[in-house]
Amino acid sequence: MKNSYSRRSVLTVLGAAVTGVLASPAARTAKAAVQKVLASTGAAKGYDPTRHKWVMGIDVNNCIGCGLCAEACKRENHVPEGPYYRTWIERYTIAKPKPGSGDARGAATVESPMGGMNGFKDPELSKDEILHSFFVPKLCNLCQHSPCVQVCPVGATFDAPDGAVLIDPKYCIGCGFCIQACPYGCRFLNPRTRTAEKCTLCYHRITKGLQPACVEICPTQARVFGDLKNSGPDDPIQKFYRNNKVQALKPHLGTEPRVLYAGFDKEVS
């Protein structure tokens, strides 16, 4: 029998070779060099994402539709000009039912000119025709079961341990699946970077101990923000939970949002 290689001997030699190469210090140096080119290392300084759980509460009865939040968000996060918003305000106007129709309410219209950034003019209907008109601020709902995370083919979007749903811009290939998957319409494709973008809860602010720009700027405390893992009974978010019947958008989808609403009409979705 001359020079016969059994499968076993070949696999053993191959496996040993691979392990040997990987374990050698030379490989480790080479790995470090490759990764230095590819990515920076380490986690956020002085901030441990596992020790926080961020939530936002929105009291619809407090929103006056001034649009400061949408404007502040755009500036704070350098969102491109045009119809791109990480947070925006919608106005719902529900007309009175036509006399004799037997309905309890008329048609509802939803509008958001410029994302509400420059405020709103009076509704088109006159005072006598309106049953109910109100503003609803919207943003990423911070789902606990996020459809956008499930569909991302490259794992660029993820649920951070602190409750923020974030996008790794270096991994995003801009395919747009997440934009279609989001039931709340909170994502868009940035025309400059060609990657998906969304509300990060102002991640650069909350990690520095500041509030998100929209919460900071809101003049009526329609938005409250808090950390469920570090909040006392007097925290605005705990008061929000205590004093309101808390609702979520599209609860039937089972996304379990961490952006919670209080006091909205059944028409809101």
Q: How far is the CB of 207 from another protein (least distance, A)?
A: 4
Kindly tell me which residue out of 155, 174, 191, 251 binds another protein, with binding defined by CB under 8 A.
155
Which span (9-17, 102-110, 184-192, 252-260) binds another protein, by CB under 8 A? 9-17
Among positions 78-97, residues that touch another protein (CB under 8 A) are: 91, 93
Q: Is 11 in the site for another protein (CB under 8 A)?
A: yes
Q: Which is nearer to another protein, 113 or 251 (CB)?
A: 113
Contacts of 188 (CB under 8 A, 6+ apart): 84, 85, 179, 196, 197, 198
Which span (58-66, 224-232, 243-251, 252-260) binds another protein, by CB under 8 A? 58-66
Q: Is 110 in the site for another protein (CB under 8 A)?
A: no
Q: How many residues bind another protein (CB under 8 A)?
A: 78
- Residue 180, token pair as written in the block: 């279609």
- What's the rounded Cα separation, in Å, for the pair 183 and 177? 12
- Consecutive H or E run containing 14: helix 7-23
Among positions 228-257, residues that touch another protein (CB under 8 A) are: none
Q: Which of 242, 253, 237 is nearest to 182 (CA)?
A: 253
Q: Is 104 in the site for another protein (CB under 8 A)?
A: no
Pinpoint the alpha helices (H) of the chain. Answer: 7-23, 25-38, 68-76, 147-151, 177-181, 203-206, 213-217, 236-243
Q: How far is the CB of 126 from another protein (least distance, A)?
A: 8
Q: Is 223 in the site for another protein (CB under 8 A)?
A: no
Among positions 158-177, residues that touch another protein (CB under 8 A) are: 158-161, 166, 168-171
From the DSSP assignment, how many helices (H) and strands (E) are in the chain?
Answer: 8, 11
Backbone angles phi, psi at 205, to 5 degrees: -90, -45
- What's the rounded Cα separation, in Å, for the pair 229 and 38? 34
Q: Is 120 in the site for another protein (CB under 8 A)?
A: yes
Kindly tell me which residue out of 58, 79, 87, 133 binds another protein, with binding defined by CB under 8 A.
133
Q: How far is the CB of 102 from another protein (least distance, A)?
A: 26
Assess contact for 261 and 249: CB atoms under 8 A: yes
